[in-house]
């Protein structure tokens, strides 16, 4: 008999052991499983299966003096020694070894799960695996950044990947937050991996985009801050009085009629200061943002809302924007149609379960831009025929009184006033 070649197979596959005999007698070879410290188990005799016949676990095929033992649906318990034996006048036998490979499997009970830690604390992640051969474990970050392994000898150690069952981070930083992958591989496909998310908690830190901002009356202005915090902070804007703008924004106290066109009829082109206040109260608007004008052609007063110009609704004095990128929240405040009352200090604020932080921005008035001087133009007119036409012309006079600092300024003496101060 020739020696039996050792065979390697993977769990779930089929292994084939070959026995080559030089015996020409009537005896047929038998296959036996050599169990440790026990009597060998007879599996087949000739081409007849004697063990697990109904399950189809074992099968023998013959090609002249070649006898093949087929072991189906290989399991770990099938690993071991197999004997091919012929009972002739002299017993002949050969032994071969079946090695069974297991693909890697991650032991969920012993492997770390998603973790929440405080900044600068120590973190130890474990990736427990089983398989044969013993799997190797590789750690890397899902975003491709280097692994922070701490400091050794005063130097920061950062590697793109790390080999080993454990990943230790001595002082975890906010930039270490994210998803980590442990990948187990032993050369048997498929390799397996587990995703572990580390959340690093720290109090808010604020960076103001620009501390001093100048702009002129009637313009729109943007204020911005970056808030770094974890867990995600609550962010809001405060005015100089300490009031949250999101609580008073967008006409939150406005119970007026949005469909009001801003006009109030009058029987005559006269009014009192009290009536002007009533006009403002009825339309429910803020001082310094509006002007009252009288039209003699329609005999009506009209409240002109500067916030409605260029299609801007007066209910949207403030506009808020937020953009999230990792642990950073970029917050923006847009103030439309600046008026005198809008100048002053503003605070961007962020707070979470760990702490609170504010950043201050000061908004000041600047002169409006000077429009370019128009170039002079020359017009030549030639008249050959002169026709005189007389037409009736209706003149409309509009008088505007702005509300400024609780005083009312008249730009015309054609309207009658009581209790008014002229400037």
Q: Which helix (H) or strand (E) holds 85?
A: strand 80-87
> pTM here?
0.65
**Do residues 106 and 194 touch, judged by C-beta distance below 8 A?**
yes
Entry field: residues in the chain: 423
- Over the stretch 313-334, which tens digit does the pLDDT of each residue have? 445 899 999 999 999 999 999 9
- Range in 45-54, 105-114, 156-165 the model is least confident about: 45-54
Cis peptide before 223 (omega within 30 of 0): no
Count of helix runs (H) and strand runs (E) in the chain: 2, 31
Kindly report whether the peptide bond that precedes residue 218 is cis, defined as omega within 30 degrees of 0: no
How far is Cα 3 from Cα 311, in angstroms, rounded to an integer? Answer: 94
13-57 confidence digits (pLDDT tens): 999 999 998 877 778 899 999 987 778 999 999 999 988 766 789
Rounded to the nearest angstrom, the gap between the alpha carbon of residue 256 and the centroid of all alpha carbons in its chain is 39
DSSP calls for 35-58: -TTSPPEEEEETTEE-SSTTTT-E
Instruction: Sketch out the chain's domains with CATH numbers.
Output: 7-101 (2.60.40.10), 107-201 (2.60.40.10), 209-249+317-365 (2.60.40.10)
Residue (of 316, 328, 288) closest to 304 by Cα position: 288
Contact 85, 91 (CB under 8 A): yes
Q: What is the C-alpha separation between 201 and 352, in angstroms, rounded?
A: 10
Distance CA 349, CA 204 (A): 9
Q: Is the dihedral of CA 171, 173, 175, 179 positive or negative?
A: positive
Q: How many Cα atoms are found within 13 Å in the side-chain-facing hemisphere of 247?
A: 8
Instruction: Check if the beta carbon of residue 230 is closer than 8 Å to that of residue 351.
Output: no
Task: Quick: pLDDT tens for 345-374.
Answer: 999 999 999 999 999 999 999 999 888 888
Token digits of residue 161: 């990947």
- Rounded CA gap, 317 and 248, in Å? 10
pLDDT in the model for residue 177: 96
Cα dihedral across residues 278, 281, 285, 288: positive or negative: positive
**308: helix, strand or coil:** helix
Count of beta carbons in the 10 Å neighbourhood of residue 340? 13
Q: What is the pLDDT of residues 165-222, one digit of tens each?
A: 999 998 999 999 999 999 999 999 999 999 999 999 999 999 999 999 999 999 999 9
Residue 379's pLDDT is: 63
Q: Any idea what DSSP says for residue 314?
A: T
């Amino acid at each position: 008999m020739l020696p039996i070649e050792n065979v390697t197979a993977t769990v779930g596959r089929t292994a084939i052991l070959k026995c080559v005999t030089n015996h020409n007698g009537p005896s047929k070879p038998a296959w036996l499983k050599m169990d440790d410290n026990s009597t060998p188990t007879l599996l087949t005799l000739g081409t007849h299966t004697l063990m697990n016949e109904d399950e189809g676990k074992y099968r023998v095929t013959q090609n002249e003096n070649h006898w093949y033992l087929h072991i189906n649906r290989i399991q770990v318990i099938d690993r071991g020694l197999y004997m091919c034996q012929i009972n002739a006048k002299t017993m002949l036998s050969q032994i071969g070894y079946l090695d069974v490979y297991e693909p890697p499997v991650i032991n969920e009970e012993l492997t770390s799960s998603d973790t929440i830690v405080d900044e600068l604390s120590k973190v130890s992640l474990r990736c427990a695996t089983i398989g044969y051969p013993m799997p190797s474990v590789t750690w890397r970050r899902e975003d491709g950044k280097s692994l922070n392994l701490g400091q050794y000898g005063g130097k920061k150690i950062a590697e793109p990947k790390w080999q080993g069952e454990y990943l230790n981070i001595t002082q975890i930083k906010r930039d270490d937050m994210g998803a980590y992958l442990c990948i187990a591989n032993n050369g048997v496909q498929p390799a397996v991996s587990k995703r572990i998310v580390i959340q690093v908690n720290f109090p808010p830190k604020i960076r103001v985009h620009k501390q001093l901002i100048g702009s002129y009356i009637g313009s729109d202005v943007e204020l911005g801050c970056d808030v770094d915090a974890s867990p995600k902070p609550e962010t809001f804007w405060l005015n100089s009085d300490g009031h949250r703008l999101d609580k008073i924004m967008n006409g939150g106290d406005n119970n007026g009629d949005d469909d009001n066109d801003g006009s109030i009829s009058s029987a005559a082109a006269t009014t009192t200061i009290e009536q002007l206040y009533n006009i403002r109260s009825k339309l429910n608007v803020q001082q310094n943002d509006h002007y009252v004008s009288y039209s003699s052609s329609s005999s009506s007063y009209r409240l002109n809302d500067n916030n409605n110009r260029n299609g801007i609704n007066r209910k949207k004095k403030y506009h808020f924007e937020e953009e999230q990128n990792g642990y950073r929240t970029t917050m923006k405040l847009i103030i439309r149609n600046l008026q005198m009352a809008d100048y002053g200090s503003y605070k961007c604020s962020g707070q979470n379960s760990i702490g609170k932080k504010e950043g201050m921005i000061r908004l000041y008035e600047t002169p409006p831009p000077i429009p370019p001087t128009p170039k002079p133009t020359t017009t030549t007119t030639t008249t050959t025929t002169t026709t005189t036409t007389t037409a009736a012309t209706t003149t409309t006079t509009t008088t505007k009184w702005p509300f400024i600092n609780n005083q009312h300024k008249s730009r015309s003496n054609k309207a009658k006033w009581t209790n008014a101060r002229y400037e």
